[in-house]
Amino acid sequence: MPTIDHITRQTLLRIRRQEDHRETDLAVVAKKKKMFNDWGLDFLCSAIFRGPYLNWLWDGPPRFLIHWDSSAVKTIDGVSYLSVMCLDVLKAWKNYNTLVFFCGRHVDPLEHSGVGAHAMVTSLIVQLLKKMEYRIEFLPELPPDIDIAGAENGELEALIKLLFYLIRELGRCNHIHILIDGATFFEQEAFKSDALPVFQQLIRVTKENTTTRYVQVLFTNTSKSTFIRDLFDEKENEILAVAKRSGAWLDVLECDSVESHSD
């Protein structure tokens, strides 16, 4: 099979050098640990190291949504720290390639272009290219519908096609875990028209025969959501609800239903 040409390879290497905001976001979110008391941290650990989450890692559905109780404002930051803990578990497996995006909420939009679907897709592409550093030159030639020049120029449609080309190529024989934190943010009017096609394709790629069990996606979310929750099937155990009760910071982990937290 023909591989990518020199011009395409150089273009991908230039894209790879762009900022992905991953480490900046992780550093900010890690500071959220102080929001939890010891009991709260123990609770988060129990949510990660048992039950549905580990089932998702090993033999559960490749699509998984963690819904966070939206009854307290602080839980928006809390779910981000939960995402970091999930990421730490994924890092324990060397063969797992982890991609993460915090929906740009931890980046100052006045100083960075870290908000919106464009930022998310670009970040995931850059992270993938960094994972594939020594394999870029061996990639098969791009399909004719991928405009590599358009992708370098930041055209969203071209970036989306490039992202899923890279996911499919790496996902044929490598584990890829994609973690999207605080996805409800993209249900705002300013973002949802661009974000929805990306989210739909992320779900779709987990169902393809060539990538099944190699590509898995995890969304963390507040429970006040619309189209994002509809992408997941509760009957297939693809949704986990983390609930807040009795004024406590974190109280109940509900694994079987999210009906009591619907809007």
263 lies in some domain: no
Q: Give the strands of the sheet with 96-101, arranged side by side.
A: 96-101, 175-180, 215-222, 63-68, 239-243, 252-254
84 lies in some domain: yes
Q: What pTM did the predictor assign?
A: 0.83
Q: What is the number of domains present in the chain?
A: 1
In this predicted structure, what is the pLDDT of residue 103? 82
What is the distance between the alpha carbons of residues 185 and 86, in angstroms, rounded to a whole number?
19
- Please provide the size of the chain in residues: 263
Phi, psi at 257, each rounded to 5°: -155, 150
23 lies in some domain: yes
129 lies in some domain: yes
71 lies in some domain: yes
In this predicted structure, what is the pLDDT of residue 237? 81
In this predicted structure, what is the pLDDT of residue 11? 93
Domain that holds residue 218: 6-258
CB 162 within 8 A of CB 146: yes
What is the distance between the alpha carbons of residues 210 and 44, in angstroms, rounded to a whole number?
34
1 lies in some domain: no
DSSP H helix total and E strand total for the chain: 10, 6
In this predicted structure, what is the pLDDT of residue 223? 64
253 lies in some domain: yes
CB 168 within 8 A of CB 86: no
In this predicted structure, what is the pLDDT of residue 224? 67
What is the distance between the alpha carbons of residues 44 and 79, in angstroms, rounded to a whole number?
10
Pairing relationship of beta strands 239-243 and 63-68 according to DSSP bridges: parallel
Token pair 């982990």 in the structure block, residue: 253
Whole-angstrom CA distances from 29 to 82, 84, 152 are: 9, 7, 29
In this predicted structure, what is the pLDDT of residue 240? 79
**pLDDT of the chain, 263 residues: tens digit per residue:** 688 888 999 999 999 988 887 887 888 777 777 776 777 677 667 766 666 777 777 777 788 888 776 554 444 455 677 777 777 777 776 567 888 888 866 666 566 566 788 889 999 999 999 988 778 888 888 999 999 999 999 999 999 999 999 998 887 777 888 989 888 888 888 888 999 999 999 999 988 866 656 888 988 876 667 788 889 988 888 887 776 543 333 333 333 333 333 33
In this predicted structure, what is the pLDDT of residue 111? 61
In this predicted structure, what is the pLDDT of residue 59? 72
What is the distance between the alpha carbons of residues 156 and 119, in angstroms, rounded to a whole number?
9
48 lies in some domain: yes
Burial of 25 (0-12, 13-18, 19+ CB in 10 A): buried
What is the distance between the alpha carbons of residues 49 and 130, in angstroms, rounded to a whole number?
28
